[in-house]
Amino acid sequence: MLAQRIKNLKSSATLELAAKVRELEKAGVSVIDLTLGEPDFCTPGNIRKAAIRSIKDGFTHYTLVAGISELREAIAKKLLIENKVSFTPQEIVVGVGSKQLLYHAFQVLCAPGDEVLIPIPTWSTYLEQIKLSGATSVLVRLKPPFKLKASDLLKGISSKTKAILLNSPSNPTGAVIEKEELEKIADLAIKKDIFVISDEIYEKILYTGKHYSIASFGHDIKQRTITINGLSKAYAMTGWRVGYAAGQEEIIESMVALQSQTTSNTSSVSQMAALAAIKGSQRPVLLMLKEFRKRRDFIFKILSEINGLSISLPEGAFYLFVGIEKLLNKKYPTSAIWCTQLLKEKGVALVPGEAFLYPGYFRLSFTNSIANISEAVNRIKSFV
Ligand code: PLP
């Protein structure tokens, strides 16, 4: 009955796990949930107020498909000032989260026969979306500390390569691509006539150095890059569903055309909230970052004291990607089984590496209080 492409689709493992945790909690089990890919902070007050104001003012109808002009202008200004890349509002589309814009980017660029290079470990949504476009993912396996280099990509490039997917800082590793490597990747993409889809959603959750957008390295790379970003992570706005894409006008126009036949615009109220987030004080972002840094340092220290785990200090995002290969044995042969048993026996929920095409690891989100994280690590220690 169902179409083959849907039969081939895998639903989001992390969202499924989150649902499982909620079920256990409902049944009265005490679970410390370290699976979530969203900040545990409330959306800052000025943003919520802007949304309430827009409802009171009756700003509750369809908007332009690409997003309201003020918001696209504010995003263009942000991209110029923070990311050092100049876009007109016509080169920007606002959509229902960056997830939708990634989907649209793959739909407008990729077709059967095309290949997309994906460094792994990776967020599995990219693979499923590429599958839906008819293209094929070519996996580029990285080794700890998972920092992508241009030379890693060389092995995967063929005459069919249409695009390279970049995600820095990365989900699930928190690794950042160094500026020199980004420049080399830009040169490679230009030389080989390949597009770049650059998912920069964690740019503001960065603990060392500065974020660089590959599109800022000159006209030629800008023309072949789709920069993807969103408000979810930086402003704790996962439920508002606002993301954006920036790129050359022909590509963005096609993404807008596709959006016009799928979701139209994202919510008018959310767009007003996003405008307040971008134009308002950035202090809440800095406070959140300060708290994440404190947690990262704390958890890195206490996890490092457990024998058998291999850990790299994340440079960005709010995840630790931890190797447990040394702990796997006949009883617990895979990281998926290990994580399931940990949840059953100790009530700690982690995402197994299988969800990121990298078995033998787990992802731990430090989007939880220090007290809960500390208790979770004690439970992990006793499980080990
Ligand atoms: N990109 C990455 C790497 C993510 O981890 C996520 C969410 O987990 C997204 C994009 C999607 O975010 P949103 O659709 O909320 O903008």
Residues 36 and 167 in one domain: no
Residues 160 and 202 in one domain: yes
Q: Which of 11-15, 44-48, 233-237, 364-368 has the lowest mean pLDDT?
A: 11-15
Distance 230 CA to ligand 1 centre (A): 8
For the stretch 184-207, pLDDT in tens is 999 999 999 999 999 999 999 999
For the stretch 133-159, pLDDT in tens is 999 999 999 999 999 999 999 999 999
Q: For residue 55, what pLDDT is reported?
A: 98
Which residues lie with the beta carbon below 6 Å from any ligand 1 atom?
A: 37, 97-99, 123, 167, 171, 199, 201, 230, 232, 238, 243
135: tokens are 């293209």
Cβ(50)–Cβ(70) under 8 Å?
no
C-alpha to C-alpha distance for 169 and 177, rounded to whole angstroms: 7
Instruction: Return the ligand 1 atom nearest residue 231 CA.
Output: 16
Best of 122, 166, 198, 201 to mutate for ligand 1, by most ligand atoms within 8 A of CB? 201
Best of 12, 38, 146, 171 to mutate for ligand 1, by most ligand atoms within 8 A of CB? 171
Distance 255 CA to ligand 1 centre (A): 18
- pLDDT level of residue 313 (50, 70, 90 thresholds): very high
Instruction: Return the ligand 1 atom nearest residue 99 CA.
Output: 14
Q: For residue 13, what pLDDT is reported?
A: 73
Instruction: Return the ligand 1 atom nearest residue 317 CA.
Output: 5
Distance 98 CA to ligand 1 centre (A): 6
Cβ(44)–Cβ(286) under 8 Å?
no
Note whether residue 349 is domain-resident. yes
Q: What is the residue whose two structure tokens read 């569903």?
A: 241
C-alpha to C-alpha distance for 289 and 292, rounded to whole angstroms: 5
Residues 271 and 303 in one domain: no
CA proximity to 139, closest of 150, 153, 151: 153
Residues 184 and 254 in one domain: yes
Note whether residue 335 is domain-resident. yes
pLDDT of 15 > 80? The answer is no
Q: CA distances (Å), 120 to each of 46, 158, 377, in order? A: 38, 18, 26
Domain that holds residue 348: 4-43+283-383
Listing DSSP states for 85-147 in one string gives ----GGGEEEESHHHHHHHHHHHHH--TT-EEEEEES--THHHHHHHHHT-EEEEEE--TT--
Cβ(184)–Cβ(150) under 8 Å?
yes
C-alpha to C-alpha distance for 207 and 294, rounded to whole angstroms: 10
Distance 58 CA to ligand 1 centre (A): 30
C-alpha to C-alpha distance for 204 and 208, rounded to whole angstroms: 11
The domain tally of the chain equals: 2
Residues 92 and 71 in one domain: yes
pLDDT of 28 > 90? The answer is no
Residues 262 and 287 in one domain: no
Note whether residue 49 is domain-resident. no
Instruction: Return the ligand 1 atom nearest residue 230 CA.
Output: 16
Can you give the CATH number for the domain in which 287 is found? 3.90.1150.10
Distance 101 CA to ligand 1 centre (A): 10
Residues 323 and 211 in one domain: no
Residues 288 and 357 in one domain: yes
Looking at the chain, the whole-number percentage of residues with pLDDT higher than 70 is 100
What is the arrangement of strands in the sheet containing 225-230, beginning at the earlier edge strand?
92-95, 243-246, 225-230, 195-199, 161-167, 115-120, 136-141
C-alpha to C-alpha distance for 48 and 273, rounded to whole angstroms: 7
Instruction: Return the ligand 1 atom nearest residue 14 CA.
Output: 8
Among residues 248, 279, 310, the one where a domain terminates is 279
Can you give the CATH number for the domain in which 246 is found? 3.40.640.10
Best of 17, 93, 125, 319 to mutate for ligand 1, by most ligand atoms within 8 A of CB? 125
Among residues 260, 279, 298, the one where a domain terminates is 279
- Which has more pLDDT, 322 or 9? 322
C-alpha to C-alpha distance for 270 and 266, rounded to whole angstroms: 7
